Amino acid sequence: CMEKMWAGRFQKALDKQADDFNSSIHFDSRMYKQDITGSMAHASMLAEKGIISKEDSAKIVDCLAEILDDINSGKLLFDLDAEDIHMFVESELTKRIGDTGKRLHTARSRNDQVAVDIRMYLRDESAEIVGLIKKLLSVICKKAEEYKTAIMPGYTHLQRAQPITFAHHILAYGMMFTRDISRIEDAVKRMNYSPLGSCALAGTTYDTDRYMTAKQLGFDGITLNSIDGVSDRDFCVELLSAYATVMMHLSRFSEEIVMWSSWEFKFIELDDGYTTGSSIMPQKKNPDMAELVRGKTGRVYGDLMSMLTVLKGIPLAYNKDMQEDKESLFDAVKMCLGVFTPMLDTMTVLTDNMYKAAQKGFINATDLADFLVKKGMPFRTAYKNVGMIVAECIEKGLVLETLPLEEYKKYSNLFDDGLFKEISLETCVSKRISAGGTGGNSADIQIEYIKKFI
């Protein structure tokens, strides 16, 4: 093993297997940007407060900027023998500027360093996720505009229930995703307080200025208890819960896409770019991307559960268990959104098939009952009559549109010719003008809401 920064107290080196087990560089290296910017702010503050010299601070900051450039350009590779990203950056700094580099860690601990890094990382990551959800929302709006009048069956219990528009159906997901964004933003707001300067757990004897680093790093303030600052990861739980909810919505949507692309439904056709074939069955075109999004949802749920479980038994303050926070947080959400949105964007909507499916299954039975109600019959009586009419149709192999008026009259003389217009799918949809319903200008209102939200 390479010599550790903390080697002074030890008689012999860490066992190789223990060293690998302990190391987190292979996953926390992705926080290098946040680690470096955090260190820059810390070094500047140390100089401002006269804890290190201005020259040393300038040297540290310049060298950190170089290290950042070198990592970005690929000139500097992560040393997988380093214990974690914090040790890696610090040892690289010392390699480059010698003893001056060794002054950086004054009035700081890796405990507050990792706590500030992860908050900044999650802030950036969440902004990216929100951006990706917004892209998805614009595709949903685009499709809703395009299919504002396309009629499809709406389902309950996966049984055809009432006719709706395709726009109304997918705008339901739109509404869910707007709330997902606000959940994430809400969690970020609560997370955005800097723990930097909490040090190991108890604060420091140096005259530091935590507000200065917090401001420079874009935080809204500082955590007011140093133990809390280094110990808690409740923001990880909150964000993971918000991510899990995003995945739950993506997964439901995926499930529908899988169903809709089956021969049994054939409501949509996915683009070749987002489907795969079978190694044995030449006819197959499989919706793998949607299935994988649905599948990866399980992982993200697991991430939330493992985060909660890691935290539940650890005493204050920092414990190494907390290193386990990261892999959970670096999981599948971004890649799922990355593939889901273009898959949705490029799919073909087979409006004729949707319409045909809406014609079968007595989807307009509620409207037939309402026809009688509007003529004065109590709803429960109308409901019962229509139930019997449906049963008769099924027996005769007819649908409500093809049952002759004379037959209707046998159930009630309130029936007249007008009923056929009343039960046409177009009427059923366009007359549902209650606020938030499938008819009227509801889709426009929803689209406008989502666009404004974006």
Task: Catalog residues that contact ligand ARG under the rule CB under 6 A.
Answer: 24, 28, 84, 86, 110-111, 114, 318, 320, 322-323
Q: How far is the CB of 330 from ligand ARG (least distance, A)?
A: 12
Q: Which is nearer to ligand ARG, 177 or 318 (CB)?
A: 318
Reply yes or no on whether 157 is catalytic: yes
User: Of the two residues 71 and 139, which places its CB atom closer to ligand ARG in the complex?
Assistant: 71
Please check whether residue 60 is in contact with residue 93, taking contact to mean a CB–CB distance below 8 angstroms. yes
Give Cα 5 to chain centroid, integer Å.
Answer: 39
Task: Select 322 or 336, whichever has its Cβ closest to ligand ARG.
Answer: 322
Q: Are 284 and 224 in contact (CB under 8 A)?
A: no
| Distance of closest approach, residue 88 Cβ to ligand ARG, in angstroms | 11
| Residue 130 to residue 333: CA distance in whole angstroms | 11
Structure tokens at 222: 């500082």
Task: Determine whether 394 is exposed, middle or buried from the number of CB atoms within 10 Å of its CB (0-12, 13-18, 19+).
Answer: exposed
Catalytic residue among 157, 168, 306, 430: 157
Residue 76's beta-bridge partner residues?
Answer: none
Which tokens belong to 253?
A: 């949507």
HSE-CB at 161 with a 13 A cutoff on CA atoms is: 8
Whole-angstrom distance, CA of residue 39 vs CA of residue 401: 73
Q: Nearest approach, Cβ of 207 to ligand ARG (angstroms)? A: 24
Task: Extract the runs of DSSP E, i.e. beta strands, from 85-229.
Answer: 151-156, 159-165
Alpha helices (H) in 209-287, listed in sequence order? 210-216, 226-231, 234-260
Nearer to ligand ARG, 84 or 238 (CB): 84
**Judged by CB, which is closer to ligand ARG: 88, or 408?**
88
Q: How many CB atoms lie within 10 A of CB 177?
A: 21
Q: Which is nearer to ligand ARG, 88 or 260 (CB)?
A: 88
Q: What is the number of residues in the chain?
A: 454
Nearest distance, CB of residue 191 and ligand ARG, angstroms: 17
Instruction: Using the minimum distance from each CB to ligand ARG, give the nearer residue, 255 or 324.
Output: 324
Q: In Å, how far are 167, 230, 361, 380 from 384, measured between CA atoms?
A: 32, 65, 17, 6
**Least Cβ distance, residue 11 to ligand ARG (angstroms):** 20
d(CA 57, CA 437): 62
C-beta closer to ligand ARG: residue 232 or 370: 232
Minimum gap (Å) between residue 116 Cβ and ligand ARG: 11
Choose, from 182, 262, 278, 434, the residue flagged as catalytic: 278
Number of H helices, E strands in the chain: 20, 4
Q: 4: left (phi > 0), else alpha (psi -120 to 50), else beta? A: beta
Nearest alpha carbon to residue 144 among 445, 363, 406, 426: 445
SS3 of 159, please?
A: strand
Q: Least CB distance from residue 345 to ligand ARG, whole Å?
A: 38
- Minimum gap (Å) between residue 81 Cβ and ligand ARG: 14
- How is 407-452 classified by DSSP, letter by letter? HHHHH-TT--THHHHHTSHHHHHHT--STTSSSTTHHHHHHHHHHH
Look-up of token digits 């339901």: 172
Quote the strand ranges of 255-309, DSSP E: 268-269
Catalytic site positions: 157, 278
